[in-house]
C-alpha cells in the first residue's frame, strides 16, 4: 500500500489522521519536531491500530534535513502537511516565527515533491482565511479577506504558494482543506488534544475547568448579534475531520480531482454558540461548569459555519459525529490524561 508522509503527525489532528490512514492500510511516516506534541502520542496511535508508524524527529526549517529525508523516502506517494505553528495570539507577537515556520517549511517540502514523478499533497488550511464572511453558511467561493492575524495570513499565503506551484508542476496535485473548529478526541481516549500551557481554544478550556485544572471558564462576550449573544462557530469532531483527509488523499491518488488545486470547507454545516457548547458539555458530562461572562476577545469574529455541499458532493464525505459526541470524547480524554 502507498507510503504517506504526515508532517505534524503527532499533533492533535495529525495523530487522528494517522490512525485513519493506518485503518485504510496505508504505510505512514511521521515527521514531527515535537515543539507542540510528544513522542508518547506514538503509543496512543499504536494502542488503537496495533501498528507503530515510522517516526522521524525533524525540524522542517532545516532545508538540508528535508532534502535528506526525501532522498531516503523517495517512494512517498502523498503528503498530508499539518506541521505549522497555530496559536493566533502568539502569531501577532511573533510574526517572523510564523512566517519562517509556516511558509519556509512549506516551500522546502514542495521543492522536494517537485522532484518526484508524481505527488499528492493535502494542506491543512483553516476557515480563518475567510475572516468574518459576508454570507453564511460559508462556501469555498467566499472571498478570502485580509487576514486578522499573521497565523491566518500564513494559511492564505500557503494556499497561494500551492496554487501557483500546481500551475507549473503537472506532476503535483493538491487539495487545501479549510477546517472550521476541530474538537473532541478518539473514542478510545488513547489520543486527543494536548494543549501546552493555558488553552486558547474553547473546548480544552472547558474540560480543564471541569477537571479542576482551571478555576473557571471566561466566556468572551455575550453582547454579539446572535440569539444568545455569544459567538457562533462550526465545531467539527476531529475523527470526522481526520476521515476527510483520507478521502481527499484518495481523490488525488485515484486521479479523481477536477483540477490540480482544489479547496474544500470541512465543517458540520451547523453553527453552535459558546453557551450552547457549554450546555452540551454539562449535559453529556453531568458536570456543572463554572463560567463567567467577561468582555469580548480581540479579533473574534461573530459567526462562522460551513456550507458543506462541495465536500459532501465532491468528496462523498459528511460528518457523522455530533457536538455531544465531541463533548463526551473530549471529557473522556481529559479524565484519562488528568484524572
Minimum distance of ligand WQD from residue 167's CB (angstroms): 26
Q: Which residues ranging from 101 to 140 are in contact with ligand WQD (CB under 6 A)?
A: 126, 128
Site mask, ligand WQD, residues 267-306, x = CB under 6 A? Answer: -------x----------------------x--x------
Residues in contact with ligand WQD, counted by CB under 6 A, come to a total of 18
Q: Which residues of 180-203 are buried (b: 16+ CB within 10 A; e: fewer)?
A: bbbbbbbeebbbbbbeeeebebbb
Which among 98, 108, 151, 305 is annotated as catalytic? 151
Whether residue 300 contacts residue 214, with contact meaning beta carbons closer than 8 Å, is answered with: no
Q: Which residues ranging from 153 to 192 are in contact with ligand WQD (CB under 6 A)?
A: 181
Task: Say which DSSP state 269 is in.
Answer: S
Q: Which string of DSSP letters, residue by residue, matches 166-207?
A: HHH-TTEEEEEEEE-EEE---TTSSS-----SS--SHHHHHH
Find where cell 480524554 sits.
Answer: 333
How far apart (Å, rounded) are the C-alpha atoms in residues 318 and 116?
A: 32
Count Cβ atoms below 10 Å from residue 144 Cβ, excluding itself. 15
Task: Say which DSSP state 117 is in.
Answer: S
99 binds ligand WQD (CB under 6 A): no
Nearer to ligand WQD, 112 or 307 (CB): 307
266 binds ligand WQD (CB under 6 A): no
Nearer to ligand WQD, 76 or 266 (CB): 266
Binds ligand WQD by CB under 6 A, chosen from 110, 113, 147, 219: 219
Task: For residue 304, give Cα distances in angstroms to 240, 317, 325, 330.
Answer: 18, 20, 21, 22
Nearer to ligand WQD, 200 or 312 (CB): 200
Binding piece for ligand WQD, criterion CB under 6 A, among 64-72, 194-202, 238-246, 325-333: 194-202
Q: Which residues ranging from 226 to 265 are in contact with ligand WQD (CB under 6 A)?
A: 231, 233
Minimum distance of ligand WQD from residue 311's CB (angstroms): 17
Three-class secondary structure of residue 164 per DSSP:
helix
Whether 151 is a known active-site residue: answer yes
Nearer to ligand WQD, 76 or 242 (CB): 242
Three-class secondary structure of residue 263 per DSSP:
strand
Minimum distance of ligand WQD from residue 161's CB (angstroms): 17
| 122 closest CA partner among 233, 8, 34 | 8
Checking phi first, is residue 119 left (phi over 0); if not, alpha (psi -120 to 50) or beta?
Answer: beta
Q: Which residues are catalytic?
A: 151
Binding site for ligand WQD (CB under 6 A): 86, 88, 126, 128, 181, 200-202, 205, 217-220, 231, 233, 274, 297, 300
Amino acid at each position: 500500500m502507498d507510503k504517506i508522509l504526515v508532517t505534524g503527525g503527532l499533533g492533535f489532528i495529525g495523530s487522528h489522521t494517522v490512525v485513519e490512514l493506518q485503518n485504510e492500510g496505508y504505510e505512514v511516516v511521521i515527521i514531527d519536531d515535537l515543539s507542540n506534541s510528544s513522542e508518547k502520542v506514538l503509543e496512543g496511535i499504536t494502542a488503537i491500530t496495533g501498528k507503530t508508524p515510522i517516526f522521524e524527529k525533524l525540524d522542517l526549517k532545516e532545508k538540508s534535513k528535508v532534502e535528506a529525508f526525501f532522498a531516503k523516502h523517495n517512494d512517498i506517494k502523498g503528503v498530508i502537511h499539518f506541521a505549522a505553528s497555530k496559536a493566533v495570539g502568539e502569531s501577532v507577537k511573533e510574526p517572523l516565527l510564523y512566517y519562517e515556520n509556516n511558509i519556509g517549511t512549506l516551500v522546502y517540502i514542495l521543492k522536494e515533491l517537485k522532484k518526484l514523478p508524481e505527488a499528492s499533497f493535502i494542506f491543512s488550511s483553516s476557515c480563518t482565511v475567510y475572516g468574518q464572511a459576508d454570507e453564511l453558511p460559508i462556501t469555498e467561493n467566499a472571498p478570502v479577506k485580509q487576514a486578522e492575524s499573521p497565523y491566518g495570513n500564513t494559511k492564505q499565503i500557503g494556499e497561494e504558494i500551492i496554487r501557483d506551484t500546481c500551475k507549473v508542476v503537472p506532476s503535483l496535485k493538491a487539495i487545501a482543506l479549510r477546517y472550521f473548529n476541530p474538537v473532541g478526541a478518539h473514542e478510545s481516549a488513547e489520543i486527543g488534544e494536548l494543549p501546552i500551557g493555558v488553552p486558547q481554544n474553547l473546548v480544552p478550556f472547558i474540560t480543564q475547568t471541569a477537571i479542576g485544572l482551571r478555576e473557571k471558564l471566561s466566556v468572551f462576550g455575550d453582547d454579539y448579534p446572535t440569539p444568545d449573544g455569544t459567538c457562533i462557530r462550526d465545531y467539527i469532531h476531529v475523527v470526522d475531520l481526520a476521515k476527510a483527509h483520507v478521502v481527499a488523499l484518495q481523490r488525488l491518488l485515484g486521479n479523481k480531482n477536477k483540477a490540480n488545486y482544489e479547496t474544500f470547507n470541512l465543517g458540520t454545516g451547523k453553527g453552535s454558540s459558546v453557551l450552547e457548547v457549554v450546555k452540551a458539555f454539562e449535559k453529556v458530562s453531568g458536570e456543572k461548569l463554572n463560567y463567567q461572562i467577561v468582555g469580548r476577545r480581540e479579533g473574534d469574529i461573530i459567526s462562522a459555519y460551513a456550507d458543506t455541499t462541495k465536500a459532501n458532493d465532491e468528496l462523498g464525505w459528511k460528518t457523522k459525529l455530533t457536538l455531544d459526541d465531541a463533548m463526551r470524547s473530549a471529557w473522556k480524554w481529559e479524565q484519562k490524561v488528568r484524572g
